[in-house]
Structure 1
Amino acid sequence: MRVRDAVEADGGRLAALADVPTEVMADVVHDRTVSVAESDEKIEGFVGFEADEETVHVTHLFGAKTACERLIDEPIRFAERESMPVEILLPEPEEDIAEVAENAGFEESESGPWFDGQRTRRFRLENPER
């Protein structure tokens, strides 16, 4: 499995993985750091993240569990270089992705906000070290 930067042409597949309109993913690719995992030139998953002054925020993590296990390293490496914690909000009941986060060292903290009528779970990695 190969990890690479996302390009605008990936928007359709990313939208299908995230179950959102293609236009939404075009904005994500332009506004955030987005990486895709692919095997045999097929996108298996993607991660999108951004940083503010204090924290790296994983805004998207979708796809096959094995792809997400590779992709979670992208925001962690960035956070490590910048000496920042990483946070991810996951909609319930995303157990596979929650397991990926926990296996990468994230700990569940307080409940996340409601989003589109769905509760979210907040995971945080205080001191990323790989």
Structure 2
Amino acid sequence: MRIRDALESDAEALATATGRPREVVRNMIHDRSVRVAVEEEGDGNGAEEGDGDGAEEGDGDGAEEGGGNGAEEGGGNGAEEGGGNGAEERDGDGAEERDASAEVSEGGEGTVRGFVAFDVRADTVHVTDFEGSGSTVRTLFEEPRRFARREGMGVEVVVPNDEETSEVIEASGFAAAGRGPRFEGRRTTRYRIESEELDEGKDE
């Protein structure tokens, strides 16, 4: 399994995984920095062995330029004034159901096992959406972490309290930092990693 930048040809696979319209997903790919975990034929080693090269090659340029432009288009904003929470992008049905949908999606190359989308606002890298199994998400979260470390920023993600994602997020180095904004009546929790915590040892 490897990590790479999302392509427009991945839109259908990501739409299937998230249950969103293809055009909405296509806008997200254009407006955000999006990485996908892809399992190619004969590759059964799991997301933990992804090389993460997408971050070094794509270098998060979309993160600096995306800046929350997808709000009107449904591309990953809402509960926090257009930035930094995956809460509004997911349907709240639970991690297991999201994992199952991600595992059957065919992307431009191989099978898409998950993805992470992020952008930059107010000197913070905001994870706006993600999908995948626990191990895949942990590997994908290394991408915004790496970008933030290089730029000297913190990383935040906000998720609804009724989603079974807290253990995966905490395993990725995040710590609960208080209540997040309500989204569609649902309570959320804000998780954050400070810039000084993003040392090399935690990413490798």
2:166 is aligned to 98
Give the alignment's TM-score, normalised by structure 2: 0.60
Q: Which has the higher strand share?
A: 1
Deviations 1:37-56 (A, max 9, x none): 01121000000000124100
Counterpart residue number, 2:62:
none
Q: Where in structure 2 are there 5+ consecutive unaligned residues? A: 41-109
What's 1:27 paired with?
A: 27
Alignment counterpart, residue 187 of structure 2, candidates 102, 115, 119: 119
> Percent identical across equivalent pairs?
43
Aligned pairs for 1:8-19 (under 5 A) are: 8-19=8-19
Structure 1 segments (4+ residues) deviating >6 Å? none
Alignment of 1:26-45 (within 5 A): 26-40=26-40, 41-45=110-114
**CA, structure 1 residues 18+92, in 2 after alignment: closer, same or farther (shift >3 Å)?**
farther
| 1:15-59: CA deviation from partner (whole Å, max 9, x where unpaired) | 222222221111110000000001121000000000124100000
Q: CA deviation at 1:105?
A: 1.5
Shift of 1:88: 0.4
- Counterpart of 1:46, as a letter, is F
Distance 1:85 1:114 in 2: 22
Residue segments in structure 1 that go unaligned for 5+ positions in a row: none
Deviations 1:71-123 (A, max 9, x none): 0000000000000000001123222x322221121111111112233222210
Q: Structure 1: which amino acid aligns with 2:137?
A: C
SS at structure 2 position matched to 1:112: strand
**Which structure 2 residues correspond to residues 42-57 of structure 1 after superposition, within 5 A?**
42-57=111-126
Q: Distance in 1 between matches of 2:144 and 2:190?
A: 16
CA distance in 2, matches of 1:81, 1:34: 17
What's 1:7 paired with?
Answer: 7
TM-score, scaled relative to structure 1: 0.91
**RMSD of aligned alpha carbons:** 1.3
CA distance in structure 2 between the partners assigned to 1:119 and 1:23 by the alignment: 28
Report the CA distance between 1:67 and its aligned residue.
1.2
Determine which structure has more spread, i.e. the larger CA radius of gyration: 2
